[in-house]
Amino acid sequence: MTTPKRARIQDVAEKAGVSSMTVSRVLNQDSKVSDAKRLLVMKAVKELNYRPNVAARRLASNKSFLIGLLYVDIDTSYVSKFLLRGLKSCRSTGHHLVVDQIDEDIDKSIASVQELIEVTQVDGLILLPPTCDDPILLATLQKANVCFVRIAPETQLNLAPYICMDDYQASFELTEMLIKQGHSKIGHIIGNPNQGVSRLRYQGYLDALRSNQINVPPEYIEQGLFTYESGLVAAKKMLSLEDKPTAIFAANDDMAAAVLSVAHMFRLSVPEDLSIAGFDDGHLAITVYPNLTTVRQPIVQMAELAVDIISSGKFSDLANANSREFRNVLDFEVIERDSTANAK
């Protein structure tokens, strides 16, 4: 069986009707190429299944075409969805994603990140929460003069490009939706205290109740860790109360799914006896039954934008970048599904 001949850059140029130099510029994200020519080249690349020679591209552009992603806990639907979209976005821009985990041994993790930078010469790093706020890691990256993009940071917002959504407003609107459904006994499971978004979502919940003159008893609020297991513990406490909440808003879908499991365990019907809402709208939200009412966080767009920022090379010199360009706030949407309904 004859092996199909691998497409060359000259083949792409001929099919697109442009020069080989133009093809090279498109593949290297050169902003000087017109949109029309860029579309022709990318169409030819796709049709010919062209795979550029990475070594040659590195020599020609002084880039590694590698993007790093640092995370803490992959056991959440949020991180999994971000990772999958990041991989796909890197592929579409001719990059490869290199993933590394930050754990409790910060010294060991920092050494691992330094090795990652030295060995791969990554074009930039994406920092998921809570790595995006780790002062030791941030100082290390600044010292190494590496471009990095932070996802939902809480501190030092003029340090580097960051991408987020309005977690406070999203939480406020979701809680108000429950109130409009007639719920006044609304519990909340707070997210991991090491992430700033947890405080924003908690504050949005509290302010929505206060603006509607609803007092919340302390036993309706439990600390979670953004994990399914912590959601189980919190839900069991809340649903064991004599005066149970009629609705529970968990700060992410993993914990909301745990509330759903505990409700079934306690023979409570959802949403007739208990309304449940989450946050993120990952795949889990439509996997459980009933499907979760939640906030659709723009995880896909966040991943795509993070890859785009690094691959563009626009922020390669952070010291001279305009801090006003750092802020990227994306839209959210409250998605109402079958896990919530009007209070009895």
Q: Which residue would you say has higher pLDDT here, 311 or 324?
A: 311
**Confidence label for 316 from pLDDT (cuts 50, 70 and 90):** low
Give residue for tokens 């808003």: 249
Placement of tokens 């069986």 in the chain: 1
How far apart (Å, rounded) are the C-alpha atoms in residues 36 and 216?
58
**Banded pLDDT at 56 (limits 50, 70, 90):** low
Q: Which residues contact 326 (CB under 8 A, 6 or more apart)?
A: 157, 158, 159, 160, 161, 162
Residue 271 backbone phi and psi in degrees, to 5: -105, 10
HEC letters along 9-29: HHHHHHHHCCCHHHHHHHHCC
CA distance linking residue 165 with residue 329, whole number of Å: 5
Tell me what the mean pLDDT of segment 169-175 comes to. Answer: 98
Question: Tens of pLDDT along 227-266?
Answer: 999 999 999 999 999 999 999 999 999 999 999 999 999 9
Q: CA–CA separation, 22 vs 13, rounded Å?
A: 8
* pLDDT at residue 3 is higher than 60: no
Residue 276 pLDDT level (bands cut at 50, 70, 90) = very high
The domains found in the chain, sorted by start residue, are 9-61 (1.10.260.40), 66-165+299-330 (3.40.50.2300), 167-297 (3.40.50.2300)
Instruction: Give residues with Cβ within 8 angstroms of 296, minimum separation 6.
Output: 280, 281, 332, 333, 334, 335
Read off the pLDDT band of 322 (50, 70, 90).
low
What pLDDT, on the 0 to 100 scale, is given for residue 219?
A: 97
**Phi-psi label, residue 131: left if phi above 0, alpha if psi -120 to 50, beta otherwise:** alpha
Q: Is the pLDDT of residue 336 over 90?
A: yes
Distance CA 188, CA 222 (A): 6
**For 293, which DSSP code?**
B
DSSP 187-220: EEEE--TTSHHHHHHHHHHHHHHHHTT----GGG
Question: Given the structure tokens 């149970």, which residue do they identify?
Answer: 244
Q: 110 with 137: CB under 8 angstroms?
A: yes
The band of 1, judged by pLDDT with boundaries at 50, 70 and 90, is very low
208 within 8 A of 169, measured Cβ to Cβ: no
Beta bridge partners of 162: 150, 327
Q: Of 296, 329, 318, 333, nearest to 147 (Cα)? A: 318
pLDDT band at residue 54 using 50, 70 and 90 as cut-offs: low
